[in-house]
Amino acid sequence: MRNLLGGKGANLAEMASIGLPVPPGFTITTEVCSAFYENGNAYPDDLAGQVATALHRIETAMGLTFGDANAPLLVSVRSGARVSMPGMMDTVLNLGLNDETVEGLARSSGDARFAWDSYRRFIQMYGSVVMGVPHHRFEDLLEQSKRTLNVADDTAISAESWRDVVEGYKEIVLRETGKHFPTDPQAQLWGAVSAVFGSWMNPRAHTYRRLHDIPANWGTAVNVQAMVFGNMGEDCATGVCFTRDPSTGENIFYGEYLVNAQGEDVVAGIRTPQPMSALRAAAEQRPMETVLPEAYAELLRVRDLLEKHYRDMQDIEFTVQSNTLYMLQTRTGKRTAAAALKIAIDMAREGLITQEEAIQRVPPASLDQLLHPTLDPNAERTQLARGLPASPGAAAGAIVFTAEEVEERAAQGQDVILVRIETSPEDVHGMHAARGVLTTRGGMTSHAAVVARGMGRVCVAGAGSIHVDYKAQTLTAGSHVLKAGDWITLDGGTGAVYVGKVATIPPTLSGDFSTLMGWADDVRRLRVRANAETPDDAETARKFGAEGIGLCRTEHMFFGPDRIGHVRQMIMADEPEARARAIDALLPFQRDDFASLFRIMSGLPVTIRLLDPPLHEFLPHGETELVDIARALGQSVEALRARRAALSEANPMLGHRGCRLGISYPEIYAMQVRAIMEAAILVSRETGEAIVPEIMIPLVGMKTELDRTRKAAEEVVAAVFAEQGTTLEYLIGTMIELPRAAITAAQIAEVADFFSFGTNDLTQTTLGLSRDDAGSFLPYYVDHGLLPKDPFVSIDREGVGGLVRLGAESGRSTKPSLKLGVCGEHGGDPDSIAFFEQVGLDYVSCSPFRVPVARLAAAQAAL
Ligand code: ADP
Ligand code: MG
Ligand code: MG
């Protein structure tokens, strides 16, 4: 019932129903939140009555009364949307306390310190969350009292001193808001409920939703729950843990707890949390396993039950009151990509989930994290400090102290590391833009750690030996003093922080990785190829499991220092002989290029696209280059300058490029086709493998264009076969990247052996949107819902996708055997891949590093 009750409410209800110890409570549904916003911030008429009835049921269950002066019921008011939004929404604890009920609580519990501690916590939370008093006002007063009392730890403060703090807090509230702190528990309750609904629309929540594609109309639920107390003494505690290690996925109970503490104390970093398991504890630590053995044993039982019930790793929050365990939250735990992988595979092997579920459990895009570099173990390094290994990977960048500056510098293409004492939801946008995050305070479940893991950012948390001075913009550790802008390197796998930039090495594809890939390969239908033209890229692609090359962009091969001169001569030559000489000089280079691709791909299909971009891209820019070419061609510099001007275009992307070029200068395509066929024959002879080259003609809009270029290519092929005294199988196909080509695909298919949808250009030409110029308005469109997503990242299913579907269907109507693929950026985007699966394409082709992502996404799409 997650949609109605929110994640927290639904899971609390579910835990209660499977017999786990959950304090009684009720949930105000997400529908109320939506109704509230739809009706000008007003509640449904019957809400008050229903809340009163539900509250009464808690009173009965607890044997306490809300607002009662002798034995008061206290509640927490907790937000909870459908999906967890860490730190976004606000929770108020100990609600129902006032000057009278606090005395009742002191008497009924026999612990005045606990009662007054709870009361000051309540004013502090309610004051900031509901009444908008800046949190640090309370913190400052508390710090000051601790100094006066000369105590370090909150738990050492007496009832009397807390009483003074409470008075001080009330004054702060009055001073800051002009209002008295509310004493009526009913007013407190409704104030808190309204604050939760109000926080759904606060800017932080808004940012988080935008970053995570969460619609605003989902709304949040509000949970009202009887309080249990972890701050009632040494046999009480509160903690946050994961049923498995969320960094590595290891099957060990993992988390942190604090004795005699409440709520957010564990993550707030005020006291140092202790580990759960004795196995993971250092000598000076006090693991829960030995300190509270009974509650720990109960928690182990709960851990097992929860994993069996939810069949996934859980992130749980609990409180122990007088040695009795209470469960306060469970949810699917956020994890690193490595952990997601390990947990999915382990759980499939443990029989908790099926292999197919395991495939579905790993978000394809997260594989990126595993394919990223780690520190080179042999690289020289100077360690600056060590913190907690909060989110793995290696990241180097310049030190930046604010989220705003991170965004600015990242926008300029700089690598930066966000360095904070601790992070808060205000920093999320900066964490997103940074290479990595370093905090000096907070544990493995701190805001920085949780958010960074979710985003796949490298994070070292709680590096306590580092001193950060925001004002001076410095970071000090031991004898090192670094300034903003200086470089550091983070190792999120070990928690180490290094001075400067440390060398990295490419990732090793672990056993779990290849296991999952194997399972994915078994179920997927779509083939996965790579876009590659260099031997390096082709090798990477194969290592990542590419089943061929879907796009080799030959123009990328024209830029090498040994060839660009010939390319320029070819373009600038004003007489056929000079052009022919330049083209002949290029032939051996191209033949070698293609031969090495055929060798690396050993028999797998290789699609080679003939020259595509407008010629002026290859032209000499500087004067010296112009002079050089003039000399080589024996032409005047003036003539060349005129030629350069003649070739330049107002709108090159819609200009003289693609097959239009092949039609105007047939010699260029003829040379490329010759190079491809000669290379294929050469490598076939060398290896005995049947090489089936796929020649691809770009930017075809009309069948006549393909007729013409195909015929010219076939003549060259025939000539090569005759010269070589052999033949081999080959395909000639076309890109579909113009709307006209998609619309007339039935005709074009008559002369094409395959189609490859060039969805980058197809997106530009369908939307009339230049990718290079869209930056000034496209982000606005996406932010404001005019477009659901950036259409260059994820295919515009209705528009561009509609053309792909039309092209595929009409092409196959003419030629059922037509091979269909896609080679735009979309070929590596999981959402787009799901669409291509629906359309029934044969393969996707993407950049080498996206190949594993595409394999997994294709498997998920097939399931
Ligand atoms: P968040 O979504 O920020 O984690 P929660 O609503 O889970 O906020 O509340 C934070 C913490 O407050 C919980 O982890 C728990 O320790 C404490 N808390 C919430 N409700 C109760 C309760 N009824 N009794 C005791 N502690 C509670
Ligand atoms: Mg919180
Ligand atoms: Mg919580």
Percentage above 90 pLDDT, the chain: 72
Compute the distance from residue 328 Cα to the ligand 1 centre, in Å. 6
pLDDT-based confidence at 375, cuts 50/70/90?
confident
Intrachain domains 372-505 and 524-862 with the same fold: no
pLDDT-based confidence at 369, cuts 50/70/90?
confident
Joined tokens for residue 224: 């009202």
Give the residues across from 394 on adjacent strands.
Answer: 491
CA distance 101 to 65: 10
240-266 residues labelled b (16+ CB within 10 A) or e (exposed):
bbbbbbbbbbebebbbbbbbbbbbbbb
Query: What pLDDT score was predicted for residue 556?
Result: 77
Residue 321, classed as helix, strand or coil, is: strand
pLDDT-based confidence at 5, cuts 50/70/90?
very high
CA distance 493 to 481: 24
Task: Provide mean pLDDT across the span 10-22.
Answer: 97
Query: What does residue 431 show for φ and ψ, rounded to 5 degrees?
Result: -65, -35
Query: What does residue 118 show for φ and ψ, rounded to 5 degrees?
Result: -65, -40
pLDDT-based confidence at 500, cuts 50/70/90?
very high
CA distance 75 to 25: 8
Find the Cα–Cα–Cα–Cα dihedral 150, 155, 158, 163, rounded to 10°.
Answer: 100
Task: Provide mean pLDDT across the span 239-252.
Answer: 92
Query: How many CB atoms are closer than 10 A to CB 60?
Result: 11
pLDDT at 509 over 80: no
Specify the fold of 524-862: TIM Barrel (3.20.20)
Which residues approach ligand 1 with their CB closer than 6 A? Answer: 23, 76, 78, 91, 93, 225-228, 238, 263-264, 317, 319, 328-329
Compute the distance from residue 826 Cα to the ligand 3 centre, in Å. 37
If we measure between CA atoms, which residue out of 352, 353, 293 comes closest to residue 325? 293
Task: Provide mean pLDDT across the span 138-161.
Answer: 91
Q: What angle is formed at CA 9 by the lines to CA 59 and CA 426, rounded to 5 degrees?
A: 115
Specify the fold of 372-505: Glucose Oxidase; domain 1 (3.50.30)
If we measure between CA atoms, which residue out of 451, 457, 480 comes closest to residue 467? 480
pLDDT-based confidence at 23, cuts 50/70/90?
very high
Pocket test for ligand 1, best of 78, 229, 330 (most atoms within 8 A of CB): 78
The DSSP output letter for 96 is T
Residue 499, classed as helix, strand or coil, is: strand
pLDDT in tens, 755-814: 999 999 999 999 999 877 887 888 888 878 899 888 998 999 999 999 999 999 999 999
Are the CB atoms for 223 and 107 separated by under 8 Å? Answer: no
pLDDT-based confidence at 209, cuts 50/70/90?
confident
63 or 645, which is more confident = 63
Percentage above 70 pLDDT, the chain: 99
The helix or strand, by DSSP H or E, that contains position 33, with its residue range, turns out to be: helix 30-38
Query: What pLDDT score was predicted for residue 76?
Result: 97
Residue 110, classed as helix, strand or coil, is: coil
Residues with CB under 5 Å of ion ligand 3 are 317, 329
Cα-based distances in Å from 489 to 369, 415, 434, 435, 456: 17, 11, 12, 10, 16
Q: Show the 3-state SS of 693-709.
A: EEEEECCCCCHHHHHHH
Task: Provide mean pLDDT across the span 172-193.
Answer: 97
Pocket test for ligand 1, best of 27, 88, 238, 317 (most atoms within 8 A of CB): 317
Query: What pLDDT score was predicted for residue 7?
Result: 93
Average pLDDT score, the chain? 92
- Burial classification of residue 650, based on how many CB atoms lie within 10 Å of its CB (0-12 exposed, 13-18 middle, 19 or more buried): exposed
pLDDT in tens, 670-711: 999 999 999 999 999 999 999 999 999 999 999 999 999 999
pLDDT in tens, 84-135: 775 556 789 999 999 999 999 999 999 999 999 999 999 999 999 899 999 8
Of 600-609, 649-658, 746-755, 769-778, the least confident: 769-778
CA distance 863 to 841: 16
The one-letter amino acid at 206 = H
| Annotated domain spans of the chain | 2-226, 237-332, 372-505, 524-862
CA distance 458 to 838: 35
Compute the distance from residue 263 Cα to the ligand 1 centre, in Å. 5
pLDDT in tens, 293-347: 999 999 999 999 999 999 999 999 999 999 999 999 999 998 988 899 999 999 9
CA distance 783 to 363: 23
Domain 237-332 has CATH 3.30.930.10: no
Task: Provide mean pLDDT across the span 583-607.
Answer: 95
The helix or strand, by DSSP H or E, that contains position 104, with its residue range, turns out to be: helix 99-109
pLDDT at 268 over 80: no
DSSP string, 622-681: SHHHHHHHHHHHT--HHHHHHHHHHH--SSGGGSS-THHHHHH-HHHHHHHHHHHHHHHH
CATH class, range 2-226? alpha beta
Protein residue with least CA distance to atom 27, ligand 1:
263
Q: Would the annotation count 223 as a binding residue?
A: no
What distance lies between CA 380 and its chain's CA centroid?
31
Q: Would the annotation count 758 as a binding residue?
A: yes
Are the CB atoms for 834 and 857 separated by under 8 Å? Answer: yes
Contacts for 674 with CB less than 8 Å, ≥ 6 apart: 587, 591, 716, 719, 720
Query: What does residue 677 show for φ and ψ, rounded to 5 degrees?
Result: -70, -40
- Report which bound ligand comes closest to the CA of 236: 1
pLDDT in tens, 386-438: 998 888 889 999 999 999 999 999 988 899 999 999 988 778 889 989 999 99
Query: What pLDDT score was predicted for residue 86?
Result: 58
Task: Provide mean pLDDT across the span 646-664.
Answer: 91
Joined tokens for residue 451: 């958010």
Write down the catalytic residue from 447, 459, 552, 659: 447
33 catalytic? Reply is: no
Cα-based distances in Å from 509 to 47, 368, 527, 853: 55, 12, 21, 13
Query: What does residue 456 show for φ and ψ, rounded to 5 degrees?
Result: 75, 20
CA distance 376 to 394: 10
Task: Provide mean pLDDT across the span 652-669.
Answer: 93
Please state the pTM of the whole predicted model: 0.79
Query: What pLDDT score was predicted for residue 417?
Result: 97
